[in-house]
Amino acid sequence: MKIAYLTPDPCGSGHAVRGVALLRAAQRAGIELRAIGPAPVSNPGNMRSMNDLDCGPLIAAGFEATDDWYGEIVRYRPDLLIGDLTWLRMMPVLERLPKLEAWLIVRRLPACNWLRNAPGIERWTRVISIEPLTETLVGTTHAVQPIVVCNPDEAIDPSPFDGLDVSYQNAMLAQPFPVAPLLTKVRSLIASAGYNTYWESVWMGYRDRVTWLDEVALQERWERVQIGGEMTANGADELIAMITS
């Protein structure tokens, strides 16, 4: 079975990281998955590449960065497409491959009823929540726990950050990807509550030592900190289990 994860979104590295998380979960399950999408950029308005910061480690981890993600998927012709979040950008792929089984994964966003009466959403066989409360959105059909790129048994001990006060951003720049396995014994951590950073802290067990940046203006991140949630499994493994069961 040919499986592909596709993100059409180049804004930041989080979408590509999610692909690497699924790629690693597929490897743990002994199946093949390709993770494809554009190279992450810091600002889609000026498209300044971050290849030296984000994309290099992601490519080394197996993410296939290409501006021609449409052509790559069409040429590959997967049996199952796992689409990331922004489904409208991926509709041309589904129109070109009308028999393609397609699952969409969605997380919390501002204006949470954005799936209500969404054009083309019915083309996705499954719409899968990957974050608490997202499953309450109109249009979701399934739910898994948050998708995280690493697991607790990957924690690195000792770590150069043990017992220190650390900025997540500085740690990420100084150490190989992913950095979360090195942070399990920090004394304190300052971080922004993006999807990957927040749920890494929950799953790897150091959320109670994080000071989250005050980002009230970023509704999604503010809500994530306020609502919280727990994890009993990595959603990446749960999603792969859906495929193999």
Query: At 57, which CATH number?
Result: 3.40.50.2000
The least confident of 4-18, 48-62, 197-211, 229-243 is: 48-62
Helices (H) and strands (E) in the chain, counts: 8, 10
pLDDT band at 21 (very low <50, low <70, confident <90, very high): very high
222 and 238 share one domain:
no
Predicted pLDDT at 84? 95
Q: Which residues pair with 103 in a beta bridge?
A: 82, 126
Residues 144 and 129 in one domain: yes
Grouping H, G, I as helix, E, B as strand and the rest as coil, residue 127 is: strand
Q: Is the pLDDT of residue 102 over 60?
A: yes
pLDDT in tens, 39-92: 887 544 443 333 344 578 899 999 999 999 999 999 999 999 999 988 889 999
Q: Which residues have C-beta within 8 Å of that of residue 73, sequence separation ≥ 6?
A: 4, 6, 36, 81, 93, 97
**Do residues 71 and 179 both lie within one domain?**
no
Do 96 and 121 reside in the same domain of the chain? yes
Residues 9, 197: Cα–Cα separation, whole Å: 18
141 and 157 share a domain?
Answer: no
Average of per-residue pLDDT values in the chain: 88
Least confident piece of the model among 94-108, 119-133, 147-161: 119-133
Q: How many residues does the chain have?
A: 245
- Shared-domain flag, residues 20 and 57: yes
pLDDT (0 to 100) of residue 108: 76
Q: Do both 77 and 25 map to the same domain?
A: yes
Token readout for 103 is 């699952």
In which domain, by residue range, is 46 found?
A: 3-148+234-244
* pLDDT confidence of residue 50: 39
Backbone angles phi, psi at 169, to 5 degrees: -60, -45
Confidence grade of residue 29 (pLDDT, cut at 50, 70, 90): very high
Task: Tell me: do 142 and 26 sit in the same domain.
Answer: yes
Round to whole Å and give the CA distance between 163 and 243.
Answer: 40
Cα–Cα dist 173/162, whole Å: 17
| Dist. CA 233–CA 145, nearest whole Å | 7
Same domain, 125 and 156: no
If one counts every other C-beta atom within 10 angstroms of the C-beta of residue 218, the result is 15
Q: Are residues 79 and 107 in the same domain?
A: yes
Q: What is the identity of the amino acid at 147?
A: I
Cis ω before 152 (30° cut-off from 0): no
Distance CA 215, CA 226 (A): 11
**Bigger pLDDT: 114 or 92?**
92
pLDDT tens across 128-141, in order? 999 987 656 667 88
Residues 12, 83: one domain?
yes
Q: What is the pTM of this model?
A: 0.91
Q: What is the pLDDT of residue 90?
A: 95
Say which range, 21-30, 69-78, 100-109, 208-217, has the weakest mean pLDDT: 208-217
pLDDT tens digits along 207-222: 999 999 987 657 778 8
Interstrand relation of 188-191 and 165-167 (parallel, antiparallel or unpaired): parallel
- Please give the helix or strand (H or E) that residue 92 lies within, else none: helix 87-96
